[in-house]
Chain A
Amino acid sequence: MVRQAHHKPKVAIFDFTDCEGCQVELVGLRERLAEIASQVEIVRWRLGQDRRQPGPYDIALIEGTPITKEEQEMLPLIREQSKFLIALGTCATLGGIPAIIDKEKRAFWYQKIYGTNYKPRGVDALPLSALVKVDFLLHGCPVNGDEVVRVVEELLAGKTPKYRGYSVCFECKQAGNSCRLIEGKPCLGPITQGGCGAICVSGGSACWGCFGLREEANVEGLLEVLFKISDSEEVEKYLSMFLKRTEAYQKFKGRVEK
């Protein structure tokens, strides 16, 4: 996809508003990061280096949600200069935890937290795809290092990376976990794309869907099950953690308002 014989692919890493945990996961790849870095030219990475080259870029990775006006203005410029644009982590792919706050509620919280004289910078926690075309969504809060390596290596080999065609449940069974839903505990595994290795459920937490909706996710079917074991207030908490700006949340709303 991006391989060219005469030069190393130019990679730029950007970070918008977020916790930077996905970049920490990149550093956590250790030797593998060094290996990838030797195959490409990292021409821009604020967290990692001073060196900063203007575009065009073969691959741009953007972490974080474009929450401020400056970030929302910068995103299309990065898009224009990038052949292949990857959203890195759930803040970039879905809006992430910051998207729990609705746009119209922000003014209330600004006043509560910063007082009345403060001039806010944040506008709304949007996924990148709300503003530009994104070529690949590397979901995860944080991203899974193996998935990052897989996607980048496929790109470097000239392939177009594909999404995992299965849900978290598949990996959860492989990990030997007992099913939370069968035990009567809420879980979003069935509608969530795999690739995380079911790491949260393996640790004893629920799946909150940070890997985004899988293709052809049966949201209605899962809602049916969730409403049997829980109430709408609790179900809302699950669906709003990472999926508030997705159709899953809209389907939930539609069902409750009916």
Chain B
Amino acid sequence: MEESFITKIEGHGQLKVDWKKNQVTLEVAEGERLFEGIVVGRPATEAAWITARICGVCPTAHNLCALKAVEDALGIIPDPTTVLLRQLLLSAQMIQSHTLHLYFLAFPDYLEIDSGLELKKKHPKYFRAALTLKEASDEIAKVVGGRATHPTTTTVGGFHKTPSANQLKELKRGIQEALREAESTAHLAASLTYPEFKTNFLFLSQVGKGNHFNIYETVKTQGSDGTTWLIKDYKKMLTEEIRRYSTAKFGFYQKKPVMVGALARLAIQKEKLNPKAKQFLSQAKLDLHNPFHNNLAQAIEIVHFTEEALELIDKLLKAPKSTNPKGLTGLKRPKTGIGALEAPRGGLYHEYTINERGLITKANIITPTVQNLGSLEKTAQALIDQTKNFGKERRAKLLEMLVRAYDPCITCSVH
């Protein structure tokens, strides 16, 4: 009953190394759940409920992305308060996911412990930071979304239920406390010694209009080489390859491997960061060409999204109550809609075709980790090539740390 999966990553994958040939393959063995088949024949209103279950680490991202896609198909434009609440939920999702990843999966490598639970005794200060951030972000998800994992209040067109002003003020107190711990997390991430390693991949990040680091209302996808393309062209720009050794598809941008996620977002829109995060970035020695620095980028984003959550709550306290979502009416003819947003691990795309009776007839989902798998395998190969003088054990350890730094979400990538 021996498994050989990489521990402390989301899902089941392993890097198979042929040490004689110095060759590495990324094998993904997660079972296929076939979400793009599961939703077919079901009401469009269920897409968000079902696809949240693609991933327990970023369910809100899938939930909101599916809502956007269905609303796009049905021509529904949610009111501004709904948009603010969703932005708050997505900011909380970023903090939830990054915190879990850093403290529970990635930092143990650098702090010479095995499990995040060991922080309690060995690094009580970090343990408190992790718990405070987790609690504050889970609390936003609960108060706004109804539950920490898999939202219950969100629906096509708006919310079944919205938080009261008192609930929002209560949340704000928790987030203010979390902001201090967000900063201490960024300091911790900046103090770690990351393996020295260079790659040169194209970064991709969805971007919003204007000067706002907008991860929910994205309008186009931008590359670090300056190219941009409209969300509706995502299928032309992002291609997927089937590998015989993987249940996840490998994604490429115009046949080239790319990197998406925190490091990519900072590479492309760092000037849009909130003040404290921006100030931190100016002092941190963030190396965009070192994928291990994705951990540092995530920590900086925790600061940014904690600031963002505070700002969004202030806006919400002044905003009118969101209108109740209207009942759905049928379509005259089948329609297709696309939803896109930046999930914790990068750009996420959902597309649904909905028939006259409101049922889904076709679905397509491209997750961030799919886009990252192509470059992750290549990066692992480069690491093997660049560490020929190291012992096998050290190289194996570095490979695992590299995979964790990428923060792959294998269950998302297979879906």
**Residues of A in contact with B (beta carbons under 8 Å apart):** 15-25, 27-28, 30-31, 33-34, 37, 42, 45-52, 54, 65, 67-68, 70-71, 74, 77-78, 81, 96-98, 100-101, 105-106, 108-110, 112-115, 117-122, 125, 141-142, 199-200, 202-205, 237, 241
Contact A109 B34 (CB under 8 A): yes
Most chain B CB inside 10 Å of its own CB: which residue of A48, A106, A114: A48
Which one, A16, A109, A141, A199, contacts B31 given CB within 8 A? Answer: A16
Residue of A nearest to B151 (CB): A203
Sort chain B's interface into a size bin. Answer: 35 or more
Ordered nearest first, which 6 A-B pairs have the shortest CB separation? A204-B160, A21-B56, A203-B152, A203-B146, A17-B31, A109-B37
Which one, A19, A65, A106, contacts B34 given CB within 8 A? Answer: A106
Q: Can you list 22 pairs linking A and B with CB atoms under 8 Å apart?
A: A15-B12, A16-B31, A18-B411, A21-B150, A24-B56, A24-B148, A27-B100, A28-B138, A28-B149, A34-B120, A47-B8, A48-B104, A67-B31, A78-B1, A97-B53, A101-B33, A105-B37, A122-B34, A142-B150, A203-B151, A205-B152, A205-B160
Binds A, one of B42-50, B197-205, B284-292: B42-50
Given A21-B53, A203-B152, A49 contacting B244 (CB threshold 8 A)? no
Contact A48 B115 (CB under 8 A): yes
| A44: min CB distance to chain B, Å | 10
- Kindly state whether residue B336 has any CB partner on chain A within 8 Å: no
Chain A residues with CB under 8 Å of B59's CB are 19, 21
Chain A residues with CB under 8 Å of B129's CB are none
Residue of A nearest to B104 (CB): A27
Residue of B nearest to A89 (CB): B56
Contact B31 A121 (CB under 8 A): yes
Kindly state the separation between the CA atoms of A65 and B1 in the bound complex, as whole angstroms: 17
Kindly state the separation between the CA atoms of A115 and B242 in the bound complex, as whole angstroms: 9
Contact B56 A30 (CB under 8 A): no
Which one, A19, A45, A121, A203, contacts B160 given CB within 8 A? Answer: A203
| A161: min CB distance to chain B, Å | 22
Chain A residues with CB under 8 Å of B10's CB are 20, 47
Kindly state the separation between the CA atoms of A19 and B413 in the bound complex, as whole angstroms: 11
